[in-house]
Structure formats: structure tokens, C-alpha cells
Amino acid sequence: MSLPGRAASPSASLLLGTSRRPLSTAPSASAAPSGPIRGRLTTASMNQAVVGAAYAVRGELVMKADQYQRVLADPAQRDTLPFKEIIYCNIGNPQQLQQKPITFFRQVLSCMEYPALLDHPAAAQIYPQDVLQRARHLLANFSGGTGAYSHSKGERIVREHVAGFLQKRDGYAAEPEDIYLSDGASGSVSKALNILIHSRRDGVMIPIPQYPLYSATIPLLGGTQLNYYLDEENSWGLQVSELESLVEDAHKKNVNPRALVIINPGNPTGQCLAESNMQEVIDFCRRRGIVLLADETNAYTKPWLSFKKVLRDMGPKYKDVELISFHSVSKGVIGECGHRGGFMELVGIDEEVKQQFYKLASISLCPNLPGQVVVDLMVRPPVAGEPSYDLYHQETTGIFESLKRRALRLTEAFNKLEGVTCNEAEGAMYLFPRVRLPAKAVHEAVKQKKTPDSFYCLALLDQTGICVVPGSGFGQKDGTYHFRTTFLPPEDKIDAVAKSIAKFHHDFMQKYRD
């Protein structure tokens, strides 16, 4: 099996963006349309797939939080609110919540963005020697520094370093030509879905709960979203038997499942799949001829394996399994969300389909250059013996251990609340507690035309200034209610956040008790 393109195999003119068709000339007056002039662009006349797309992570809750933020900035209004600050726990955005950037990363970036610093007489006093060496090495291999377009796949030197990182991580060779740098992981995910989806008959299997990038993009491209449910009672585990049933049901509806999305570690659920579970998934994809999309963009707090390593360990029988994996610099210890760096690796993909990936990458010219630099620094950090190593190790270890402590403290706090249960975060910066709401609260939510979990989360924001995302934005089993929160507030504030949520929850349950 090979992935479908939206066109036949590309000719050289397609790949190079040229055409034999002559440039058209301006139309003559006689060619002007004779019918009525169309009205203004409205939501009724625009692309309805865009109107229908939803992205809860930056939805209603965040817009209201931003309104409150403006009120807090106004001395004449700030005392009208029952809180003193907005705490954005809606998105994995570490540096927004005061996580400090890694010094080595920012030092190299500063030299890359302003190369004159490298020749400054005080450079050796300002920067460690390995920072200067790294910046010079990258600049020598970036054709125009960070201000020029790069190769559409990203600079070759960075892709070589990513390949080396993957080989060290997995124990198997990686090919730089099969690696595409991108603006975060999202850019790569969108390209892969663009390649996969040809029509409404093409289905993409996604976990529920899931990161809403998938539920927004699949219908936007005209495909069909196929939901499989994670098992909350068993640490958000994945049952392959449910995947089998989903495929059979899809075929009955004339939908062909083309791809399976696995988010590992989970977002919003935070779980890490066991190796045996990953082997079952790979075997399922081989038997069913389904492309495996492995979203591996989060931080890891327990032993973790990539799908590529598990696939290769399974031997030559599985060599034809099609795997596309995604990674970014945004999450966990690095937390460089704003630099929008990421990459994907194509494994077992048909050569002609790879050309189509390249064509898609070429249309957007190239991924941003500072993001490419951060990817390089992520996969090739300072090593023991280099001047920057001790500080780098101190900073990354400190952030990592703090994240684990914050996750544990917030999980324990949630599990003490009436009617709330929360699985531990095994590998991501998110928690997804389940809240059992009183029937009276559910009734009031319906009366206000809100989902019950949105009603709860809006009340939480109104009373505490804490912004989370309702579980309905990620998907959940009917009759259950959740919310996703990060555990990114500074460690010296995490107990206050937990206390504030606990007081709100107690008051809410009292108000709506049956």
C-alpha cells in the first residue's frame, strides 16, 4: 500500500514550481461578467469547513480570560474582580507561566540572529567558547543566516543532526532526506493529513480524548474523523479490539480508514503506552494497511520508547509498515513554543509520495529559521566537558524535577475533591481530571446552552482567574465530564492554585447539590 497523492506523480515542472502554460493577460472589458456582483464576504458565504472547525484550547474560555486580563490591567476596574491575576492553564506554554528559557539555547540564538556579536572584542567574556563555536558552525552551514530562505525541508546540517539524534535514540539509522523540519509539530501534522485525505471517504482514526488539532484539521480537509475511545479506568489505555471494530463499522459506511493517530505521551491524558501495546498497534496497522501517525511531541517523565524503535525491533516482517512521526521543541523542559520548531520523519513511505511531501513543503518555502536552530540545539545539546554543560544540566534537571513534583501535587489535590478522579501524568504536562457534576448543575448548563463541563470551567474562571479547557473540546464518553489543565504554574504557586480550585469546587458542589 502507498499513500495517495492529490495528483499524479510530479514532473520536474511541478516540483520546481514552473509551468509550460503561458502567463494569462488581463481580461478585456467585453470579458467582464454580466451577472450581478456578489455581496460582501460573510460567514454564510465563506468556506463552511472553516466555520465548523473548532479549537477549544484557544476557544471561549481563553477569550473570556483575555477580557479579564484587560480589566486587571486597568487600575479603575481591577478591584471589580475576585482575583488578582489570570493563570493560563489552558495550553502547554511553559514560558508564559515563568519557565525560564535554557541559557545555552538563547545564547546561540542571539549570535545567530546578530552575527556581528561573534566578532565583538568582548564576545569571549560574554559567551562560553562552545556557544561561539556552535553559532559559527551553524552560520557556516546556513546559506543566508537566519534571514534567508532555507531548503524547503530545512537546512541540511540540522536534518543531519536530527538523523544522528534519532539513530542514537532508537538504535537504527535515520536518513536526513526523510526528515522534514517544520513550524512546530502542527505544520508537519497538517502536511501529512493533506497527503492522506482525498475525499470524505478517507477516514482518520483519532483517540478520544484527543488534541483538537486533529478534529479541526480532518474536516477542514474534507476527510472523515473516526473516533476510538481510550480507557480511563485503565490509565487511558488503548484497546486494539476497539480499533478493529471501528474499521469494520467504517467500511459499512463506505469510509476507508487511511491512518491511525497515536498521541504518545497522551494529550490531554498524559499516559505513555506500554511496549506490548505499541506492538499490537503496529501489527494492526500492518494487517489493515493503515498509516501510523505517531505524535510524540510531549515531555517524558517515565521510560518511553518511540514507535520507530518498537517497529524496527519487531523485525523484517514489519518493514513495510508506513510510519510518520512528529516531534517539537514546544513542550516540557525546552518549552520554546514561540520559536515554532519541529520535525517529522517518514518511515516506509513510497518514494513518489515522498516527492509529494517535498512539493507541499516547497509551497510554503521553508520552516522558520530560528525554529530550525532550536531543533538543532534540542537534538545536539552541550555534552559533559564542554563549558556550557554544567549550567545546561543544572537548568534542565531542575525544570524536569520541578515538573514531576508539580504534577504529583496537583494530581493528589484533584483526587481529594468530591466527585473528582484524576490519573497520574506519565509523560506529558497535562492532567485530565473527571468531574462528576450534580444533576442540578447539568440542568443549569443546558438551560444556559452550555456543555456541563464548559459551564463548570467558566465558573472556575469567573471565581478564580484560572483558565482550563473543558473536556468536550477534546472529546469524552457521553455522560462524563472532564477538563484539561497543565501543571505549569510556578512551583511556588502550585499549592495556591490547588487551594483555589479546591475552594471553588466545594462552593460549586454546595450550590448545585441535588
- pLDDT, tens digit (0-9, with 9 covering 90-100), for 10-67: 433 333 343 334 444 445 545 555 656 566 877 776 777 777 666 655 567 888 888 9
Count of CB atoms situated within 10 Å of the CB of 264: 26
Q: 202 and 181 in contact (C-beta within 8 Å)?
A: no
Higher pLDDT, 438 or 56: 438
Query: CB neighbours (10 Å) of residue 279?
Result: 17
For residue 140, pLDDT beyond 80 = yes
CATH of 56-97+393-512, one of 3.40.50.2000, 3.40.50.9100, 3.90.1150.10, 3.30.565.10: 3.90.1150.10
Q: pTM here?
A: 0.82
Q: How far apart are CA 304 and CA 325, in angstroms?
A: 15
Bridging pattern class, strands 87-88 and 466-467? parallel
Distance CA 438, CA 273 (A): 33
Do 368 and 183 touch, CB atoms closer than 8 A? Answer: yes
| pLDDT at residue 361, as a whole number | 87
For CA atoms 426, 428, 432, 433, the dihedral sign is positive
Q: What residues contact 398, with CB distance under 8 A and at least 6 apart?
A: none
Cell numbers at 225, concatenated: 474523523
pLDDT for the residue numbered 22: 43
Model confidence band, residue 145 (pLDDT cutoffs 50, 70, 90): confident
Task: Look at the block and give the residue holding cell 509551497.
Answer: 363
> Could you read off the pLDDT of 415-437 as tens digits, one per residue?
999 999 998 877 777 888 999 99
CA distance 211 to 434: 17
pLDDT at 94 over 70: no
Q: Are strands 420-421 and 434-435 parallel, antiparallel or unpaired?
A: antiparallel
% of the chain with per-residue pLDDT over 70: 88
Q: Regarding beta strands 291-295 and 323-328, do their DSSP bridges make them parallel or antiparallel, or are they unpaired?
A: parallel
- Amino acid found at 382: P
Measured in residues, the chain has a length of 514
The alpha helices in 39-96, defined as continuous H runs, are 48-52, 60-72
Beta strand pairing call for 291-295 and 87-88:
unpaired
Q: Domain-by-domain residue ranges, the chain?
A: 56-97+393-512, 141-379
Report which secondary-structure segment, H or E, holds 145: strand 143-146
Q: Which of 497, 511, 505 is nearest to 84 (CA)?
A: 497
Rounded alpha-carbon distances, angstroms, from residue 166 to 163, 171, 178, 366:
5, 8, 12, 22
Cell of 340: 515554532
Instruction: With residue 342 as reference, give the H or E element that holds it.
Output: strand 341-347
Task: Please report the pLDDT score of residue 302 as a whole number.
Answer: 64
Mean pLDDT for 66-81 is 88
* Cell digits of residue 437: 457534576
Task: Provide the 10 A C-beta neighbour count for residue 117.
Answer: 17
Q: What is the mean pLDDT of residues 214-223?
A: 87
CATH number of 141-379: 3.40.640.10
As a whole-number percent, the residues of the chain with pLDDT over 90 amount to 43
Residue among 342, 369, 338, 344 at smallest CA distance from 148: 369
Q: What pLDDT score does 477 carry?
A: 86
pLDDT tens digits for 148-176? 788 889 999 999 999 999 999 999 999 99
Taking each helix axis from N to C end, the angle separating 452-464 and 491-511, rounded to the nearest 10 degrees, works out to: 120
pLDDT of the residue at 31: 55
What is the model's pLDDT at position 55? Answer: 61
Grid cell 537546512 in the structure block, residue: 155
Grid cell 481510550 in the structure block, residue:
230
Mean pLDDT value across residues 450-460: 92
Burial class (CB in 10 A: 0-12, 13-18, 19+), 297: buried
* Cβ burial, residue 380 (10 Å; 0-12/13-18/19+): middle
Average pLDDT over residues 316-331: 90
Alpha-helix residue ranges (DSSP H) falling in 338-434: 351-363, 369-379, 389-415
Q: Is the pLDDT of residue 212 over 90?
A: no
pLDDT digits 0-9 by tens, 375-428: 999 999 999 999 999 999 999 888 888 888 888 888 999 999 999 999 887 777
| Mean of per-residue pLDDT scores for the chain | 84
Distance CA 218, CA 49 (A): 10
> How far is residue 99's CA from residue 334's CA, in Å, rounded to a whole number?
9
53, 220 contact by CB (below 8 A): yes
